[in-house]
Amino acid sequence: MSVLTGKRSWLRTALASPAIGRLGVIAAGLLIWEGLARTVLDPEFVSPPTRILQALVTRTLADPTVLRAIGTTFWELLLAFALAVLAGTAVGVLVGAGERISRTAYPLVLMLYAVPQVTVLPLFVMFFGLGPASKVAFGFTHGIFPIMVNVIAGMRDVSPLFLRSARSMGASRMQVLRHVVLPHLVPSFFAGMRLSVAMTLLGVILAELYASIDGVGYFAHLYSESFDPAPLYALIVVLALMAVLLNELARRAELRFTWRRR
Amino acid sequence: MPTQRTAVSSQLAEVADPWPAHGGEPETAILCVEELRKNALSNSRDASRAGDAAIGIRGVSKSFGDDGDDGRLPALQAIDLEIRRNEFVCLLGPSGCGKSTLLNIIGGLLKPSTGEVFVNGRRVVGPLPRDIAFVFQEDTLLPWYTIAQNMHVALEFQGVPREERPERVRAALEAVGMSEFARYYPHQLSVGMKQRIAMSRGLSLQTDIVLMDEPFAALDEQTRMVLGEDLSGLLEQTHKTIVFVTHSLAEAVFLSDRIFVFTARPARLKSIVTVDEPHPRRPDFMTSDKFNGLRNRLYGLLREEIREAVRQNV
Ligand SMILES: Nc1ncnc2c1ncn2[C@@H]1O[C@H](COP(=O)(O)OP(=O)(O)OP(=O)(O)O)[C@@H](O)[C@H]1O
Ligand SMILES: [Mg+2]
């Protein structure tokens, strides 16, 4: 009796757990996709998940030129992201620190943030060429904004009470930065960082799709023009994995450094 | 000075010195703390006038808002008073009359519109971390640091040498019976415990003067009674000058040597009530006729002012 109820409640817990639920939704989605793709959908546009997996293993991952392209994109992404985080934090702290500069520059930053940068993409290719430089640059200008905006916003809402209290105890500007402002920034910094991963990837891929001689975007272009959807989907899977990986890195760093968790 | 401040320094717009890190006014010299310390106690020719008082306040008025502005709000009006060394005084007045403003002006965090403040005989022009410690009404413990780290950082701000800090922190926590919570984060403590820590942090800075702005306001009556007794006991050993803001008449009588009663906004000094009773005070003082007599007298002084303050706020 108790064993039975124990089992049932175990099963119920498992079904009620959000992780299992999520997996269930994903599995159901894949099944429906598979069914539709094998029956009603045009194979020139949509591949079933099984075929995509097959293409991923036999074509994408087996082809050294494609592998190299994935590597190129990954390094472009990583470099653009690292530069965006460093520069975004530095600019954010500088702009956020000064009263006047913050009032002047913050609206400008927000305005620039709102403009779709894809409009100036041809300029990037013209300035930086067809190689990785234009991709890194375009990824960088995409990735820097979420960091900058979040850091500036964070600097602007430091509790005046903490500042007043620190000031009354004789804190210097460096001490205030180190003990009050920077710790306060941590949560918004990481929120910006995770947005930045997605934006950087967007920038890099856009630049690659627009004009390139290498990278994932180049092959994606190639496959889509030859109506070869399976490896195209496989590439999309690879890109998604890259984004998930970087996002996970950011999340780990966040867990480690966020004081709220402690 | 711009009327509208948006960045970090917004709340400090009115302070005596632009906050060095975030003052942001390019035309104002950015002072480092050392300079601030030197300047804060400027040797003024008026020093003699301040006599032996720990704190002298001369003709201090304060209005918020810009000159000639219709919305200009007078908060303090021609305050003259003197606080002696080792004295415990309370500032008592209706809500919103300007008590915190006066406290911030004494501490050099806010600049008076007119008049001067002297601390230990010298004119105040900025914060005086070596002479004055604050205990604020609100919770000012940094949430990302443990209790011990918070105390440590306070000493670092004040410029206490690194090797002296751990012992000072330990002693300060022990003095308020909070040693076992050294490694806790503020959010893990009750409001009363946090305020006890804030009090001990203020005392650990070893300044002659401690300014306390309703440090017990967020506490329940039982906790404030205990903390009040603790404070009275702690002070007996340390010989400090304390300026204490409170709304509680009982607290004022129980703790103070003298009570300054203020009018409704703009605050003017209405009366000074002396409590002639040695420290540390025992709980049975609270039930004595003397205590109740003083309390009633304070209430009589404040009644009209409270009505006036309520009228202002409708
Ligand atoms: N920075 C500021 N700018 C404009 N007005 C202010 C500022 N600080 C305080 N005031 C106003 O000045 C008046 C006095 O404020 P203050 O905080 O000194 O009062 P208080 O006596 O401490 O009140 P409470 O008992 O409620 O703490 C209030 O009307 C308040 O709104
Ligand atoms: Mg107040």
Is the domain of A99 the same as that of A19? Answer: no
Higher pLDDT, B38 or B302: B302
DSSP-derived letter for residue B179 is G
- Residue type (1 letter), A91: V
A145 located within any domain: yes
* Contact assessment for residue A124 and residue A138, using Cβ atoms and an 8 Å cutoff: yes
Is the domain of A30 the same as that of A118? Answer: no
A176 located within any domain: yes
* Contact assessment for residue A129 and residue A66, using Cβ atoms and an 8 Å cutoff: no
Is the domain of A101 the same as that of A204? Answer: yes
The three-state secondary structure class of B43 is coil
* Residue B3 scores a pLDDT above 50: no
Is the domain of A12 the same as that of A66? Answer: no
Please write the tens of the pLDDT for every residue from B52-96.
688 999 999 999 887 666 667 888 999 999 999 989 999 999 988
What value, to the nearest 5°, has the Cα angle with vertex A20 and ends A17 and A24? 135
**Mean pLDDT, chain B, whole residue set:** 81
- Number of Cβ within 10 Å of residue B84's Cβ equals 14
What number does the ligand 1 atom closest to the CA of B13 have?
1
What residues have a C-beta under 5 A from ligand 2, the ion? B 100
* Residue A145 scores a pLDDT above 70: yes
Cα distance between residue B293 and residue B110, in whole Å: 36
Chain B residue at shortest CA distance from A154: B8
Looking at residue A103, what is its pLDDT? 80
Cα distance between residue A221 and residue A207, in whole Å: 12
A226 located within any domain: yes
Looking at residue A7, what is its pLDDT? 60
Higher pLDDT, B42 or A147: A147
* Structural domain for A152, as ranges: 53-257
Is the domain of A107 the same as that of A185? Answer: yes
Is the domain of A15 the same as that of A71? Answer: no
Looking at residue A66, what is its pLDDT? 87
Looking at residue B143, what is its pLDDT? 92
Model confidence at B45, pLDDT cuts 50, 70, 90, reads very low
What value, to the nearest 5°, has the Cα angle with vertex B125 and ends B122 and B126? 115
Q: In sequence order, what E strands does chain B have?
A: 41-42, 55-64, 73-83, 88-92, 114-119, 122-124, 132-135, 209-213, 241-245, 258-262, 269-274
A47 located within any domain: no
Model confidence at B1, pLDDT cuts 50, 70, 90, reads very low
Is the domain of A123 the same as that of A223? Answer: yes
Output the domain CATH number for residue A70.
1.10.3720.10
Looking at residue B71, what is its pLDDT? 67
Verify whether the Cβ–Cβ distance B12 to A164 is below 8 Å.
yes
* Residue B33 scores a pLDDT above 90: no
A262 located within any domain: no
DSSP-derived letter for residue A56 is I
What's the token pair of residue B121?
């005989």
Among residues B14, B97, B89, B95, the alpha carbon closest in space to that of B268 is found at: B97
Please write the tens of the pLDDT for every residue from B260-293.
999 988 889 999 999 998 888 888 888 999 999 9
* Residue A230 scores a pLDDT above 80: yes
What's the token pair of residue A30?
């894949």
Ligand 1 pocket by C-beta < 6 Å: which residues? B 14, 64, 73, 75, 93, 95-101, 265
Is the domain of A67 the same as that of A7? Answer: no
DSSP-derived letter for residue A65 is H
Considering the entire predicted model, what is its pTM? 0.75
Cα distance between residue A116 and residue A128, in whole Å: 19
- Number of Cβ within 10 Å of residue A68's Cβ equals 12
**Domains: count for chain A:** 2
Higher pLDDT, A233 or B13: A233
- Number of Cβ within 10 Å of residue A258's Cβ equals 15
* Contact assessment for residue A79 and residue A136, using Cβ atoms and an 8 Å cutoff: yes
Is the domain of A170 the same as that of A62? Answer: yes
Please write the tens of the pLDDT for every residue from A49-91.
888 888 888 888 888 888 898 999 999 999 999 999 999 999 9
Looking at residue B36, what is its pLDDT? 40
Cα distance between residue A244 and residue B183, in whole Å: 36
Q: Range with the lowest mean pLDDT among A210-214, B54-58, B124-128?
A: A210-214
- Taking CB atoms and an 8 Å cutoff, what residues of chain A touch B149? none
For residue B98, how far is its CA from the centre of ligand 1 (angstroms)? 5
Beta strands B132-135; B55-64: pairing state: unpaired
Cα distance between residue B145 and residue A219, in whole Å: 50
Q: Which of B3, B11, B15, B64 to mutate to test the pocket of ligand 1 (most atoms within 8 A of CB)?
A: B64
Is the domain of A138 the same as that of A190? Answer: yes
DSSP-derived letter for residue B49 is G
Is the domain of A101 the same as that of A24? Answer: no
* Residue B15 scores a pLDDT above 60: no
A7 located within any domain: yes
**Mean pLDDT, chain A, whole residue set:** 86
Please write the tens of the pLDDT for every residue from A86-143.
999 999 988 887 777 778 888 888 888 888 888 888 888 888 888 889 999 999 999 9
Looking at residue B30, what is its pLDDT? 33
Residue located nearest, by CA, to atom 16 of ligand 1: B98
Cα distance between residue B115 and residue B59, in whole Å: 5
Looking at residue B14, what is its pLDDT? 38
* Residue B227 scores a pLDDT above 90: no
What's the token pair of residue B133?
């410690």
What value, to the nearest 5°, has the Cα angle with vertex A182 and ends A180 and A187? 110
Looking at residue B22, what is its pLDDT? 37
Is the domain of A73 the same as that of A112? Answer: yes
Whose structure tokens read 């001490």? A175
Residue located nearest, by CA, to atom 28 of ligand 1: B96
Element (H, E) at A176: helix A173-176
Model confidence at A8, pLDDT cuts 50, 70, 90, reads low
The three-state secondary structure class of A70 is helix
> Span B187-192, mean pLDDT?
88
Looking at residue B307, what is its pLDDT? 87
High-pLDDT (> 90) share of chain A, %: 27
Q: What is the b/e burial string over B240-252, where b = at least 16 CB atoms within 10 angstroms of the residue's CB? A: bbbbbbbbbbbbb
A46 located within any domain: no
Residue located nearest, by CA, to atom 29 of ligand 1: B96
Looking at residue B69, what is its pLDDT? 64
A183 located within any domain: yes
Among residues B175, B177, B184, B179, the alpha carbon closest in space to that of B149 is found at: B184
